[in-house]
Amino acid sequence: MKYRYAISTEKGTRDYNQDRAACLEGNDSVLMILGDGLGGHAGGDIAADILVDTASQAFLKLRTPVIEEPSLFLALVLQHAHRSINRKAKKSTKKIDPRTTAVLCLIQNGYAYWAHAGDSRLYLFRNGSQLTRTLDHTGSDQAKVSGRRIPAKTGLYNCIGGPSRPKITLGPEIALQHGDRILICSDGVWQGMAIDVVAEYLYEESDLEDSMDNMIEKIVQRNPAVCDNVTVVALAWDDKARPGKRLQHEQIRDLTDNDLWRAARDAEKGIRSNTRTGIHAKKQGSRLKAGSNADTAESLDSVINEVESFVKQWEEGK
């Protein structure tokens, strides 16, 4: 695989940065991760940390180099992160209510797969223009797309962590083309700069990391009075090879939330798996240290086992 990636983040005018982001590299796969800790709830940074640690360790501990049902894997990881965040809150000696948005994007065999919860976004650009993006879990964004009247409550209604089960939205299987750009970002980015301008930065001929740093700096400069945390993980797809065979069964996107929650619950009863080798990880926002968080690592191995067994059962029953 030929690609370049960059991570950039700034706290804006906030007192501290509750965004967390990472990009992990496997032999033939990449996992992009972003969480925006909710500032209105104590412990947003804790939730974003647990999200990134959970997804990172799950990716690192996979037993096979190819994930047979990528979207299911991403959904179960987010479900497990939700449970881990709530366990952390329950065990904390301080009163906290950690919650975070989430975007995960897995790239393998020349295809991109993603899952998200909240109003952090994934954008896919092709030939310099936006091809698609995720739909925010807000009343206003949902209404605009569906053509319905804007509801009275237009704010965020879905996240990872908290008393309500999150709704996990799965993206399609997209074959990447040479020159494509993938961007996952916190809401401070898309609120602070027009997306066509963001695309210009993504397609600059200069180093991608420099371009993203310059873009983030420009967003902060444009919003001197009020600027949220701004964080991006960007990837430029430079591979000219044809994508491999399709892996995703599109019916997997029709699984109900109850199906996914049942799988996540059963994962707690799984058995340990071997550690995946040949992985290189880079992360910004907080250090990546396998096994550093007991709450996060508590049953990650069983999640991997459950992903594999659940896929097998689903294959046999469909």
Which residues, including other chains, have CB under 8 Å from residue 221's CB and lie 6 or more apart? none
The domain of 105 spans 3-317
Is the whole-model pTM more than 0.95? no
What is the tens place of the pLDDT at every residue in 94-146? 999 999 999 999 999 999 999 999 999 999 999 999 999 999 998 777 666 66
Three-state SS at 290: coil
Q: How many CB atoms lie within 10 A of CB 60?
A: 19
User: What phi-psi label fits residue 9: left (phi over 0), alpha (psi between -120 and 50 degrees) or beta?
Assistant: beta
Question: How would you label 166-190 residue by residue, b for 16+ Cβ within 10 Å and e otherwise?
Answer: bebbbbebbebeeebbbbbbbbbbb
CA 124, CA 76: separation in Å to the nearest integer?
A: 23
- Structural domains counted in the chain: 1
What is the tens place of the pLDDT at every residue in 168-205? 999 999 999 999 999 999 999 999 999 999 999 999 99
- Domain containing residue 281: CATH number: 3.60.40.10
Query: Measured between alpha carbons, how far is residue 241 from residues 3, 136, 176, 238 in Å?
Result: 12, 33, 10, 9
